[in-house]
Copies of this chain bind each other. A is one copy, B any other.
Amino acid sequence: MKDVHVGVVGLGNVGSGTLAILHKNCEQIGQKLGFQLRVTAVCSRSVHGLSLPDVPADALRTTDWRELVAHPRVDVVAELVGGTGVARELIESAIGHGKSIVTANKELMALEGADIWDRAIKAGINLAMEASVAGGIPIHAVLREGISGDRIVALAGILNGTSNYILTEMESRGDSFDAVLAEAQALGYAEADPSADVDGFDARSKLAILSALAFGERITPSDIFVEGIRRITAQDFDYAHQLGHTIRLVCSARQTEQGLILSVRPALIPQSTILAGVKGAYNAVWVKGQFGADTFYYGRGAGPNPTGVAVVSDLMRVAREIRCGSPERVSPFAHERLGEYRPVSVTLQHRPYYLRFRVDDRPGIIAELAGILASRHIGLEAVLQLPCDTKHDLPFVITVESTTEQAIREATAEMSQLSFLREPPLALPMEPPL
């Protein structure tokens, strides 16, 4: 049978993981496909300085991605460069050459996925992007095939391994955000500039892709409210536990009567839910369908091998399609043109909230805070104060009944003017059990 030939651009972590799997698992891949996947060309700026033990001796090694894309024997291009510069050009060029593409590029697909898909469909080529979100979890295959018959009404996920590692370490050791971040940086788990991870931007790109796939809408990062984890303290975990909850950076997309509410933010989730069991650098996605009810998917979020499995699995699927001709395709970014899933502001969201204060203690504080809540018709649920040996910079918590994000924002803005507060209140939504 005719084999399918692969060109790999980008030989960093994901690229080398992909090549290692294609090489070491070639017998089983060949058995599953009924033909071979052959690496015909590889490209990287430093290709001539690399030993590349997993690349066949006769494969083209080039520093020029244009040469690889134009190579007559390359059937499918794996874009593992990342970012929105060269990667965009490369994908456009591959579409122009009528070559199918497998990509691990979350930034580009989050920003321009729908447009790129439209052009790919016009060109009759396939585009696969399992590796762009939650590398080790085959959530694209699940949404595209496994539960395609369902109508998704909500999804929630933990999509950034670094921030989840930091939060779960803070939780288990009682250390501060700064201390755990510094350690994670020393261990290489967090970047020197940790903003993309701890401020939620990486997770936001992933949620944009996932929710576009789940709801079939053109959702871009700017549709998604984002808030990072820098303000979370070890004491917040103590209070959350007291409430039977934990704290995670939750990526959430929910269809409501108002529209689709999308956010990436730290939130309290019940400890009894399976999402609360996601620790360390693992990722997870929970999906709620109108018919199939809850399903939950869990695995490593990143790493050369887990992400490499996603790339290789995509290459296998695309290769099968290349061999059986070009089927008609429908963009996974836009199956839904019924206008059901209009992104709306997170301020419309209804939730119970956790409000954590740091105050210089004096009589009347609760009364004043409760007065502000009452004036906005926000129902106070509980006041919690764990034992503490100081009257200065004293943390305590008020939980309130379900209200809108808008009301909470107005209330906390008013509270921030109060002289006894050391910092503006920290407001975290309390997510319902999954």
Contacts and interface: CB of A to CB of B under 8 A. Distances in A.
Nearest to A304: B291
Interface in A290-329: 290-300, 303, 305-306, 308-313, 315-317, 320-321, 323-328
Nearest to A22: B149
Contact of A320 (B24, B290, B299, B327): B327
Interface string A131-153: 00000111111100111111100
Contacts of A388: none
Q: How large is the interface on A (under 10, 10 to 19, 20 to 34, 35 or more residues)?
A: 35 or more
A66 interface: no
B327 A295 contact: no
Nearest to A287: B299
A235 to B, nearest CB: 24
Q: How many copies does the complex hold?
A: 2
Interface pairs A-B: 10 shortest CB-CB: A138-B146, A149-B312, A324-B327, A141-B146, A295-B299, A292-B309, A296-B298, A149-B313, A32-B335, A291-B305
B328 A324 contact: yes
Interface string A5-29: 0000000000001001100110111
Interface in A343-373: none
Most chain B CB neighbours (cut-off 10 Å) among A27, A141, A150, A278: A150
A299 B245 CA distance: 22
Contacts of A303: 293
Given A145-B317, A312-B149, A330 B32 contact: yes
Nearest to A215: B28
A324 B325 contact: yes
Given A25-B151, A130-B146, A138-B141, 19 more contacts: A20-B291, A25-B291, A28-B151, A31-B216, A31-B338, A34-B330, A138-B147, A141-B145, A145-B313, A147-B309, A149-B312, A274-B277, A291-B309, A292-B309, A293-B306, A294-B299, A295-B297, A324-B325, A325-B325
